[in-house]
Structures are given as structure tokens and as C-alpha cells.
Amino acid sequence: MASAKIARRDFLKVAAVTGALATLSGPEDVVIRTLKRVEARALGPQEYTVPGLCRMCVNSCGTFFRVRDGRLRKIDPNPNNPANAGNLCARGQAGVRRVYNPDRLKRPLIRRDKSLRGTWQGFEATDWDTALDEAAAVLKKYIDAGEAKSIMVGGGWLPCGVYKPYVVAFAKAIGTPNFVGSPPPLCFFPKAFAWTVTIGAGGHPHIRADHEYANYIILLRRNLAGSIGVPYAWQFARAKKRGAKIVVLDPRMSESAALADLWVPIKPGTDLAFLLAMGHVIVSEGLYDEEFLRRYTNAPMLLRADSNAPAKTWDDPDTGKKKYLVYDEATGEAKAHDEALRPALAGEFDVEIDGETVRVKTAFQALVERLQQYTPEWASQICDVPAETIVRVAREFGTIKPAVIDPGWHDPKYQNSVQTWRMVAILNALVGNIDRPGGLIFNAAGRSLKSSALPDARADVQWMKKKGIIVSTAQPMILAYYDAIVNGDPYPIKAAVLTGGNWIRTLPDDRKWKEAFKKLEDVIAIDVMPNDTVSYADIILPDTTYPERDDPMFGVGFSPDAAVATSVRAIDPIYDCRPMIDILVQLADRLGKKDAYFQNLGAMLGVDGAALKSAYESEGIAGIRRVQVEAKGVSYDEIVAKGAVVLKARDQLIGTMPYKKPLGTPSGKVEIYSLKMAGIMAKKGYSEHWDPIPTWIPPRVMDGVGGNVFYLTYGRSPIASHTHTADNDLLASIGRPEHFGVWINAAKAAELGIRDGDMVKLTSLATGQSVVAKAFVTDGVRPDTVFTVSAWGAESEELKVAKGIGGVALNKLWPMHEDLFTLLPNAMTQEVLVRVEKA
């Protein structure tokens, strides 16, 4: 991998500047002029590079910022960072144009007429002291009245995935428990929940398919190549070159499907049927790894034969893990799982439990029985995929080693999302690939996860308790805040401090969120771009772009190697902007909460708060970095020169869980049968959504498609991460119609009289709202499905590039499902049908 690239670079160094110049040929004056240019470039005293971290998406790839004559010229990939390993995508390259984007917020703005929210009218430019004083006065009003908790500190992926401790420290310091980042039920929750109950980790920074060594890869509900995420995409693309076979289940020909050996244009929302049928083939043909299942999973766990409930579980006080009974084939008795000589994997038995004879079967037996009904022929009818294809993929997955099904990224798409990913996790476990090279492995960040409960004082926690939602699985629940703002339920949220994010353009049913943002008494926004949501602010505090600031130290996510990284300021802010951390500290200071801020921050970062404060006071954010780096035992000079330092390489980490170290599941094993879900079932009664053994759940919107009504699907494109990157002139110029438009099947478009490039109107049957966008007519999408990219639909006229692109505002088409929380939290963003007409 990286070493090959470095070797090639070494070779190129042979062509050192002076030597190579001698090889120039052509008219003499041409040679001289070229020489001069080379000299100027090579010697240019005004050129330097510093290491940085990309902030065009959450992957935070390592970069080098190159500056010449005081201007950021180029961003190059940083091979020292193990996540992207010397690769960078178009968005990362286009970071230069984020800095020099004339649409940026350039100075603090204040607007006193709150009736103008949602527009750009009425703002007055001001200086930082005035803006910060006014913002502090707003917050002080609530704090003094004892109503600090009615302030919501919110944001998107930046405070969620990158700056969380820095924002949470502020929320805590001013006395509110209500911090909300990216909303998990709209982001990764259903997928992450399924993985977490099975192997103890499930967020996208925590687990990965080991594309680097896999020989057979199945990808579903994810477009790894097209949505990029360089830390994953570089290995995925190279797997293909290495000769790995790739199968992609997707209703449209995504960039990943284009790369694949087999594209399966599956009916939207039916992947679970495909997977269940794969499971059917694998267990009926004996293609599973018996030894792995017996030793490292709870497949031998005994269940009561009549109810499929665990026969008996109890706590192990030494490990804090659940113990369970298995049937020991050596003695013919039920025994604690860690005391049996040879636990039976399959079978039904009569055993004595606490003096009572009970009919039991193993969890594996229950799974086999469950899968019996899910034949490839059955799935074929549901998925619109030939049964032979399902059989072939199942056999290949069961026999080619190592094989892996990718763990996905974003999936709050269907009511069956949880069981879909449960089945993916179980299939991976059936072939015994967990934490083995080429299998389903943990990123360094996923090896030691701590879960902490949300404070009871939070508005969303109280709201969920009231509605009987399963709080034990809860993640911050942004959608509960709609009720809190608009209806004062469970208590009123009156003010918002936004630290990034674009809720007006990303949360289901934008009308509701516009209403909420008009209702708020005070809105303060810290952001780089004048996006749709910032237009609802009263006070705007402009953030810097990432090359204009120093960063603290971060653990590198998205990498199997354990590493730390930082970003060094390349240039001074080109406008009157300040880094968000400085803004938060300055606000806290004005509220007399600076000590509290650093105490909170120190507690979260695991360093001394007072030391942080004094280092910050002398060196700014770089001081925070210095304290962190020293606590980690890393050389400060090394990290600011290299940008990233590897602490432990992947080879020292892979193969440990669950082999040497228990997983974060209740039993510490891979849970074929989910004890967490069994616990929910015990409390709430049976639901197919938390059946501890996966079962088929159809998507809600199977019917009603035909004529001009389609399934709505969406994804990312390589030229846009999310609305955050939508306003970038370089990316816009690279984009093609397939990146901006609405994919419609060619034959179907002909039937409807729609030609490529025509404007079409999409009307959501769920919200009644319509959007107009350009048709991209293609053979690369199912006839019953339309597809579009999720970054577009900006309404803010200050985003001149994004507004010019137009495109679909998905959150006008997504409803806020009323029963969203009766299930596991899940926004069900593809449970939507749209009517398509020529505009």
C-alpha cells in the first residue's frame, strides 16, 4: 500500500532538480526560460507547506497545505496519516476554494428585526466585541432567570464528529444539558445499533470491511466509491485492481456498482430478503465456520424451545458480562458457557435448569429454523432478483476466503434497517471473518468504546420517557426538539446556539423546522457559510475555514491503525473571522464561565483543566494541542511537522477481538442471538423490530409504485459531501448531470415523455411538497425508482453557487413520520413515494 507509493517517490528523487534540467531540449531561449521558472519555483522563499486535516467531510483526511506568497495554493494528501494514506478526493482538493469562496460569512452580523428570519434582510455588520457582548447578553438572560436549559446548543457533523468536546464543554459551562449534533436517527443509528448489539461497535468510525485484504466483497445501501470517504474508498478501489470480486446491491448503477463485477439492481428496501435467503443457503449447505460459531459467538446459547427466550442468563461479577447456558456434548448437561468442554452448536435438548426439566434449543438451531422459510425463490419474488443470483452470491460468499459484507455507513432509510444490518452482521459471523484480515474488522477507535447515558435533564430524554420510547438505546434525538420548541414539550426550548449544521435543509419536512426557527426567541449562529439555517439567526459569528486555524489534537478515526493527528494554521483568516473554539471561549469568558469551560474540557480530554486554560491563554488553540500531545507522550515537534503520528499499527490490533479481549456486547461474544434485543422484548413485548433473531420486515412502501409514481432513493456524489460543500465553484464545475439531477430509467422516461435534461417536478406523496430538478435519463437505474444526490436544494440566495445548481431539496420530500419513535429511532428517509411529472 503506502510503501509502494513511497518507493516510487524515492525513485523519482533520482530526477533531482539540477540533474533533470540538463535533459531539457528545444530552442535555447526556451530552455533558459524553463530553467528560470524551475529555479523560481524551487527556490521560492515565500513557499511553504504545513500539515493539516481536511474538513470537507467527517473523514478528516490528512493533508498538506501549500502556501505561496501568503495564499493557499494547493492541498496535497498527507501520507503520514494512516486513514487516507496519501490519497485525497476532489472535495479535499477543492478545500482551497472553500477558503477563497466569496460567498463566505466575512464579518459578525446582527439583525434586530426577528420577523426577517429566513431571509438575508436586516443584517448589520458589526465588530467582534459588539457581537460577542450581544450574544453573551442573550445567553445571560436565560442563565440569570434560571432557564439555562432552555438554550439548545446544536450543530451538524463538525460538533458531532470533530469538535464535540469543545462544544459540549461550552454547553455544560453555561448550564444546559441540551447539546445536539448530527441527529443519529437521521444519520447512522439503525445501522450502528444493529452492529453494536451484535459485535459491540457499529458507528462508521468504529468498524470497517477490510477491503485491503478481502477477496470477496458485498456492498449494500452504501456507495463507497462514489460517496468517497477516502479512508475506505482507496482500499475498495484497489481491491478491484488486486482481483477481489465485488458485488453491489443497489437500485442504481452507482460509482461502486460501476466498479463491481456484479451489479444487482435490487428493489429498494428489500436487501433484508436477499440477506435472509443468503443465510438460508449458507446454513442449508453447511458453508458456515462451525468452530468460530462455537467458540466466539453465542450461537450455542440455550433458548427455551417454546418462546425462543434465553433459557437462563446471569451476570458475571468478575467481567461484568452476561453468562448463559450451553449444552455440553461432553457430559450431556446444560452448563455455564465458559465451563462446557464442547458446547453443542445445533440441536434441541431436554435439560435440567434449577431443578426443572426444560425443552431447549441452541440459538443457532433457532436461527436455522427461522431461515428455513426464506428460500432464494421466496426472496426472488420480493427483491426482483433471480433466485440463481442469490444462490450464487451466497455460495461465493461462503467459499471464497476472506469474504466480507461491508458494514455500511448511513442508514436510517427503512423500517427494516435494523434487522437488515443485524443480518449483515450475522452473515459475516457465519463465515467467521470477525476481526480477521480481509474480514469485518475494528477501526482503532472502535476497540475501546465507552457508552454513557444521556443526562435525564435533557429535553429529548424526558420527551422519550414520556412517549415510552426505548431510552436505553437513545442517542441525542434532534427531532424531539421540534416539540420542545413549538409546543414546549417536555419543557420550552427558547434559544439556539448553532455551531455548524444546516437543520433547515437536512431535517425531515423543512416546513416544520422553519416554523420552529421562527418560534425561537433567540438564535445565534457560528458558521462559515451563509446557509439556509444561518438565515434564521439574529447574531452571526463567522467561523474560519480549516486552513485558517490551528486545531487541537484528535485521535484518527476511520483507520485500523491507532494514531493521533492535528492541523496547523496555514494562513491567517482572510476575512474578519475567528475559529469556533475561540468564539466559544470568548463567549464563556463574557459569562464568567471560562474556568468552567476549561474544567469541563479537561475532564472530557483527560487532561488538567487549569493547565489547558493557561496554555490556551499563552498560545491559543495550539496551547490546547500542546497539553494534549504531551499527555499522550508524543513529540510536539513531530506532530506539527508530520501532521499525524501512528501509535500502534493495525497488525498489532487485528485478531484480538473477541479472541483475546471480549466484545462490547452483553455476553462479550459475537451475538448471533441479541441479548440486548431480548431485553427490550422482555420489557416491551414482542416486536419484529427487536426480534433477537432476524426476521423479514417489508418496507412500508412496497405498493403504489407504477405509472408516474416511483420509489425515492438518494445518496452522495463524489463532488459533494453534504450541504456544507454544496457552495464550491470548483466542485460545481467538475460535476456532471448525474451529480446534480434526478436519475430516471430511460425506458420509463420515454413512456412519460421525459427527455434527458428536461426539468421535472417531484411531488412527495408523503408531504405533498414538490421540488423541480433536471432529469438525468439513464439505463443505470431501476424502472420503478428515481435517485438523487442529497447535497442540493439550497434556498439561501447568499449561496450563489449552490443556488445556481438547484437540485432536489430532499427534506421537502421526507415526512417526519408520526410514529417515528414507536420503533427504534429511525427517520425512514426512503419510505417515500414520489410522483414525477414534466415541469
Query: Site residues for another protein, window 41-80 (CB under 8 A)?
Result: 41-42, 73-77
Q: At what angle do helices 480-487 and 459-467 cross, to 10 degrees?
A: 100
Tell me how far, at minimum, the Cβ of 90 lies from another protein, in Å: 4
Tell me how far, at minimum, the Cβ of 753 lies from another protein, in Å: 18
Q: Binding another protein by CB under 8 A: which of 69, 144, 779, 819?
A: 779
Distances (CA, A) of 827 to 281, 478, 509, 548: 32, 11, 11, 36
Which span (90-98, 192-200, 327-335, 761-769) binds another protein, by CB under 8 A? Answer: 90-98
Q: Binding another protein by CB under 8 A: which of 487, 733, 751, 804?
A: 733
Q: Binding another protein by CB under 8 A: which of 258, 330, 702, 750?
A: 258
Which residue in the block uniquely carries the three cell numbers 464442547?
342
Interface with another protein: number of residues (CB under 8 A): 78
Tell me how far, at minimum, the Cβ of 629 lies from another protein, in Å: 28
Q: At what angle do helices 594-605 and 580-590 cross, to 10 degrees?
A: 130
CB burial of residue 118 (10 Å; 0-12, 13-18, 19+): middle
Residue 82 makes contact with another protein by CB under 8 A: no
Binding mask 217-236 for another protein (x = CB under 8 A): --------xx-x-x--xx--
Task: Give the Cβ contact number of residue 163 at 10 Å.
Answer: 24
Closer to another protein by CB, 267 or 505: give it. Answer: 267
93-112 positions binding another protein, by CB under 8 A: 93-94, 96
Tell me how far, at minimum, the Cβ of 640 lies from another protein, in Å: 22
Residue 836 makes contact with another protein by CB under 8 A: no
Indicate the residue type of 121. Answer: Q
- Spatial CA neighbour of 592 closest among 196, 139, 155: 139
Task: Give the Cβ contact number of residue 410 at 10 Å.
Answer: 21
Tell me how far, at minimum, the Cβ of 637 lies from another protein, in Å: 24
> SS3 for 170?
helix
Residue 382 makes contact with another protein by CB under 8 A: no
Q: Binding another protein by CB under 8 A: which of 684, 736, 755, 838?
A: 736
Residue 49 is placed in which grid cell? 507547506
Residue 709's φ and ψ, nearest 5 degrees, are -105, 130
Residue 738 makes contact with another protein by CB under 8 A: yes
* Residue 260 to residue 177: CA distance in whole angstroms: 46
Residue 785: enclosing H or E segment and its boundaries?
Answer: strand 785-789
Closer to another protein by CB, 438 or 542: give it. Answer: 438
* Residue 385 to residue 66: CA distance in whole angstroms: 50
Q: Binding another protein by CB under 8 A: which of 493, 507, 719, 789?
A: 719
β-partners of residue 770 are 763
H-only helix segments in 576-663: 580-590, 594-605, 609-619, 621-632, 636-642, 650-653
355-374 positions binding another protein, by CB under 8 A: none
Tell me how far, at minimum, the Cβ of 2 lies from another protein, in Å: 11
> SS3 for 773?
strand
β-partners of residue 311 are none
Tell me how far, at minimum, the Cβ of 62 lies from another protein, in Å: 12
306-325 positions binding another protein, by CB under 8 A: none
Tell me how far, at minimum, the Cβ of 378 lies from another protein, in Å: 21
Tell me how far, at minimum, the Cβ of 34 lies from another protein, in Å: 6
569-598 positions binding another protein, by CB under 8 A: none
Tell me how far, at minimum, the Cβ of 218 lies from another protein, in Å: 12
Which span (195-203, 512-520, 781-789, 817-825) binds another protein, by CB under 8 A? Answer: 781-789
Closer to another protein by CB, 456 or 751: give it. Answer: 751
Closer to another protein by CB, 236 or 349: give it. Answer: 236
Longest dimension (CA), the chain: 101
* Residue 607 to residue 632: CA distance in whole angstroms: 10
b/e map 755-789, b = 16+ CB within 10 Å: eeebebebbbebbebebebbbbbbebbbbbbbbbb
* Residue 718 to residue 223: CA distance in whole angstroms: 10
20-39 positions binding another protein, by CB under 8 A: 20-21, 23-27, 30, 33-34, 37-38
- Spatial CA neighbour of 55 closest among 714, 500, 716: 500
Distances (CA, A) of 618 to 573, 614, 635: 20, 6, 19
Q: Binding another protein by CB under 8 A: which of 783, 803, 816, 839?
A: 783
Residue 282 and residue 397 in contact, taking contact as beta carbons nearer than 8 Å: yes
CA 740 from centroid of its chain's CA atoms: 22
621-680 positions binding another protein, by CB under 8 A: none
Residue 426 and residue 198 in contact, taking contact as beta carbons nearer than 8 Å: yes
Which span (205-213, 249-257, 420-428, 516-524) binds another protein, by CB under 8 A? Answer: 249-257
Q: Residues 529, 531, 535, 537: what is their CA dihedral angle, to the nearest 10 degrees?
A: -60
Q: Binding another protein by CB under 8 A: which of 132, 151, 153, 237?
A: 237
Q: Binding another protein by CB under 8 A: which of 6, 15, 145, 682?
A: 15
Closer to another protein by CB, 130 or 733: give it. Answer: 733
Q: Binding another protein by CB under 8 A: which of 249, 587, 731, 827?
A: 731
Residue 253 makes contact with another protein by CB under 8 A: yes
Closer to another protein by CB, 25 or 618: give it. Answer: 25
Closer to another protein by CB, 241 or 450: give it. Answer: 241
Closer to another protein by CB, 55 or 91: give it. Answer: 91
Which span (153-161, 295-303, 729-737, 824-832) binds another protein, by CB under 8 A? Answer: 729-737
Residue 413 is placed in which grid cell? 432509510
Closer to another protein by CB, 38 or 634: give it. Answer: 38
Closer to another protein by CB, 665 or 785: give it. Answer: 785
- Spatial CA neighbour of 513 closest among 118, 94, 110: 118
Closer to another protein by CB, 176 or 254: give it. Answer: 254
H-only helix segments in 127-218: 128-144, 157, 164-174, 189-199
Closer to another protein by CB, 4 or 453: give it. Answer: 4
Tell me how far, at minimum, the Cβ of 358 lies from another protein, in Å: 48
Which span (143-151, 452-460, 560-568, 725-733) binds another protein, by CB under 8 A? Answer: 725-733
Nearby residues of 396 by Cβ (< 8 Å), 6 or more positions away:
216, 245, 247, 403
Which span (129-137, 194-202, 255-263, 494-502) binds another protein, by CB under 8 A? Answer: 255-263
- Spatial CA neighbour of 486 closest among 463, 502, 465, 469: 463
Which residue in the block uniquely carries the three cell numbers 452476561?
322
Residue 439 and residue 402 in contact, taking contact as beta carbons nearer than 8 Å: yes
Closer to another protein by CB, 37 or 661: give it. Answer: 37
Which span (8-16, 303-311, 405-413, 492-500) binds another protein, by CB under 8 A? Answer: 8-16
262-281 positions binding another protein, by CB under 8 A: 262-263, 265
744-773 positions binding another protein, by CB under 8 A: 745-747
* Residue 491 to residue 497: CA distance in whole angstroms: 17
